[in-house]
Chains A and B, each alone.
Chain A
Amino acid sequence: MGHAELLGLTMATATESATDFDVARNDSLGLRVQHILHGNPVLGPLAVLIVAIIAFSIVNVRFFSAANLSLVLAQVTVIAVLALGQTLVILTAGIDLAAGAIAVFSSILMAVFCTRAGMPGVLALLAGLAFGTAMGALNGFLVTRIKLPPFIVTLGTLTIFFSLNSVISNSETVRGTDMPSIMTWTGNSLSLGGFRLTYGSIIMVLLFVLFFYSLGHTAWGKHVYATGDDIEAARLAGIRTGKVLFSVYTVAGLLYAVGGWILIGRLASASPNVGTEYNLDSITAVVLGGTSLFGGRGGVIGTLIGALIVGVFRNGLQLGGVEVVWQGFAIGLLVLVAVSLDQWIRKVKS
């Protein structure tokens, strides 16, 4: 009996110390993960993307086929370009609810210019891009000059742009076959093995490279981050924060218009009735990519991954036989997890 007691005691001690050890290790592991994610915020989204790709490939072998991956990329391209503009805005601690509206309205303008107005294709395209830029500039003007919150400004312009969109298009779709070929050129593709790469996707990748460079390696990029991080500190450091914000909304407008052009190629038409979900999808991609809604943190690589996550989930769930309504549910859940993760990472202490 004494022996048993002794044994019990020893075992208890052993269990206790094992538990202690586990607790200690868990703590440090959690902290270490937090630190690693804080230093490399892209790792979290990247892990989600890789796990999702592996999981969907297991569920349905068709997922990882060249044809399907081409489809995912083509589906993601427009959202990715819009999310690129959205990233710039969110980095300044703003939000752009009009992203999708500007894209769709620009695409309608391009289509109307080259059909009803009879403009040559290139001119219609440039005019459409110019109008998209002007719409972004209007947002920038209202944010910096009238000093309204970005949420309110873009809520207002979103409604206005969609309304003008219906007026100008007569709520009619313009078929791609009625337009000059340059309008639908973004939907054409290169064939690499079984993989089809649309020109729209190539433009998208080039834009991401351009803005990766601009944000990380130019003074403008540093000023965008500083403005979003702490606008007062940036102003006191001599940064013309108004100019920075205006440039961000304007450039974002141009990017949305490019997204509109790619959208025409993707749908082989310009329709005023698409794209209502693009506003929120672009924000979703940015948030999933680890860019903080509080500004000053994140980047375009994360956004590209975020857009791919949205595309992979939509496509993978569909192939897995999940109904469309539940796809939205899953994406929404992902967003909440991503934002919670962001909050947790921000709490990191030195």
Chain B
Amino acid sequence: MTAPVLEARGLTKRYGRVTAIESGDLELYPGEILAVIGDNGAGKSSLIKALSGALIPDDGEIYLDGQRVQFRNPMEAREAGIETVYQTLAVAPGLDIADNLFLGREQRRPGVLGSVFRMLDKGHMRSEARRHMSELGVGTLQNIAQAVESLSGGQRQAVAVARSAAFGSKVVILDEPTAALGVKEGNRVLQLIRDVRDRGLPVILISHNMPHVFEVADRIHIQRLGRRATVITPQSHSMSEAVAIMTGAAEPPPHAA
């Protein structure tokens, strides 16, 4: 068995008397889409935030490529190669597509213009943005310089996913990427997720949408009451079985995968 790209061991996070994650474990293997499902309050978000540096766990370890990592903020996780697309869409609506793709890692002009006058290399960033968008099959956007707020929900999500795929070198984490989308747009984003995986980046997908999870996931991590109940695959269990485990109606089986 290959070694996991990303591994969490015994992560714990408490808020006062409330325990968000209780010794949470997670493994993500190369080239897979791992779905994380769980009822509200099961600790999915906290788990993901710990992995992406948005939350500092009280206890437990995270390993990236076998190396222990400790993130103090999202920037450190990002520098280590973990890109996260948050549910709230981490895009600035007033900025254009290229600006959003490079938000927080803008590129400056070479030479004096960049070093002294700190001038942005807009031309380069726009052509790079266009390339990244078309690599993911979303090159249909007419104008890379159009404000993100003028895009549909699916297109915005595509911008966010394209950003994570463009800069994530190890792992891409997607938090509810299809939640706010219609059927057609949701399907396009699912295809986008497969494209990201097929380019060699393993993906963690957090979703409430069971059909979407069963459609794209290679393995399904079920979170319940702050810990991992089990890991199944779309082949080993049905959707209703997964929901039963998630809600506690059924005993979690031993890891199927």
Which residues does A use to contact B, with CB under 8 Å? 213, 217-220, 222-223, 225-226, 229-230, 232-240, 296-297, 350
Contacts and interface: CB of A to CB of B under 8 A. Distances in A.
B119 A236 contact: no
Contacts of B120: 217-219, 222
A226 B89 CA distance: 13
Interface in B104-127: 104-106, 108, 117-120, 122
Interface stretch (B60-68, B91-99, B187-195, B228-236): B91-99
B86 interface: yes
Contact of A297 (B74, B94, B122): B94
A225 B95 contact: yes
Interface string B136-155: 00000000000001111000
B181 interface: no
B56 interface: no
Contacts of A235: 74
21 contacts: A213-B117, A217-B120, A222-B95, A222-B99, A222-B120, A225-B94, A225-B95, A229-B94, A233-B89, A234-B103, A236-B88, A236-B90, A237-B90, A237-B91, A237-B92, A237-B103, A238-B74, A240-B75, A297-B94, A350-B149, A350-B151
B223 interface: no
Interface centre among B92, B93, B94, B106 (most CB of A within 10 A): B92
Interface of B: 54, 74-75, 78, 84, 86, 88-95, 99, 103-106, 108, 117-120, 122, 149-152
Nearest to A296: B94
Interface centre among A219, A223, A235 (most CB of B within 10 A): A219
From DSSP, what is the main secondary structure of chain A's interface residues? helix
B54 to A, nearest CB: 7
B167 to A, nearest CB: 10
Contacts of A223: 104
A209 to B, nearest CB: 13
Contact of B103 (A218, A239, A296): A239
Contacts of A220: 118
A219 B88 contact: no
B94 A236 contact: no
A323 to B, nearest CB: 41
B88 A218 contact: no
Contacts of B84: 236
Nearest to B76: A238
B148 to A, nearest CB: 9
A164 B37 CA distance: 59
**Which 7 pairs across A and B sit closest by C-beta, in order of nearness?**
A238-B104, A219-B106, A236-B90, A226-B92, A229-B92, A350-B150, A237-B103
A236 B74 contact: yes
B93 A229 contact: yes
Contact of A237 (B104, B117, B150, B152): B104
Contact of B119 (A217, A222, A230, A350): A217
Given A218-B119, A238-B74, A238-B104, A232 B88 contact: yes
A350 B148 CA distance: 10
B111 to A, nearest CB: 15
